[in-house]
Amino acid sequence: MAETQQAEQSPPEPRVWALFAHADFSYLWAGGVASSIAMTLKVLVSAQWLYEETGSAAQLGLLGAVQLLQMPMVLYGGTLADVIDRKKLMVFTQGASFFLLSVLTLLAGADALRPWHIFAATGFNSIVNTLGGSARPAMLPRIVPRSLLTHAVSIQIITRQAASIGAPLIFWQAYEVLGVTNSFAIGAAIALLATFAPLLIKASGKPEGAGSRRTTLASLREGYRFVLGHRLLPGLYLLDIGVVIVSFYRPLFPVFADKLYGMGAAGTGLLNAADAAGGIVGTFLVLFTNSWGRKGLIVLVGTLVYAVFLFAFGLVHIFWLGLIIVAILGVTDAISMTMRQTIVQLTTPDKLLGRASSAHSFAAMGANNLGQIEVGIMSGAIGAGNTMVLGGVISVLVVAAIWYYMPGIHRYRYDPQNPYEKHEEG
């Protein structure tokens, strides 16, 4: 009798591979992998070509300014994911990416590619991805049980990071051996595969309340009130903004490869691969925390360690040590990012999940874009290494401020029996 009671009180921990018993998750996962590879190739090829064409770190930084065009659309994209079919949004997004990469392929093949094409394509791609960006995470609660949500978020991020290892290596070989035209063409072919994957999902993509007559403005107001009244999300979003805005190094890898190590496309590809490999390790570590309630504390500690290693990245000029440091940055960034996304999933009702996810995207994308501008301009002004050291100092201060002024984050304990426990209160 005692053994029966203990079994009822302590259900077995769900296995990670149980996710793939859900066919719909497999399709969503496969589409996400293909999408990640295609978009990573697009970013890397565009950045490397632009840097080689102009020789300017500031030009790479200004790509972030172009991507700011997406910001007015971010919250609207979350509203779309809460009022129309989420599968159709994913198909539209990936189809637009395929079209964009095809155009870049044709321009490069005709020797007509110009820097302004890269800026225009980046802006267009950012806006379109933003419109559908909340659809994929908003589908997760529809295709896996709540007990597997942490695993689902972790596996999606792990495989995205795995794709981010493969894509830089593909980029490295394709760009140096086949050239810019074929590199874009490979990205277009992979984007086409990502376009069809959501069509295989059998679960309904129509969110709760999709038939209501609520206006877009009213839906935005509802989501705005929910996020601001949540006792965790504002602090998590502010943490992301405060740190990333001074440390967003990934789009500037061509600059760091050149200025810190005197390398070209090979250095860019290997730095990206090291960062992605670290991301896989970090997200795998999160898989072992599924039963840990202190998820907010994990976010803060991971971000603090990330900040400390920014110093090392800025100070070290030995390439193999730089690869190790970048991998550690990938580990810690993945831990904090996965936990932030998991907390959004665990503490938000389905009818608001698109808007809560879009608010997270709004914070993350805004920080990424402003961070790309800041790191690009500062790298040109004070040097790439000094920019990372400064970013490390500011990031430590940001973590300390969030810890002190928003104690609810490090005190947060997830209760699976009461997941929405008063999170909407201030």
Domains, the chain, in order of start with CATH, read 18-411 (1.20.1250.20)
Cα–Cα distance measured from residue 163 to residue 184, given in angstroms and rounded to the nearest whole number: 16
For residue 312, pLDDT over 60 is answered with yes
pLDDT score at 41: 87
Report which of residues 404 and 28 the model is more confident about: 404
Give 106-125 pLDDT, tens digit per residue: 998 888 888 888 888 887 87
Question: Band of the pLDDT at 4, cuts 50, 70, 90?
Answer: very low
Mean pLDDT is lowest, of 56-60, 238-242, 378-382, 422-426, for: 422-426
Give 321-367 pLDDT, tens digit per residue: 999 999 999 999 988 888 887 787 777 776 676 667 667 767 777 77
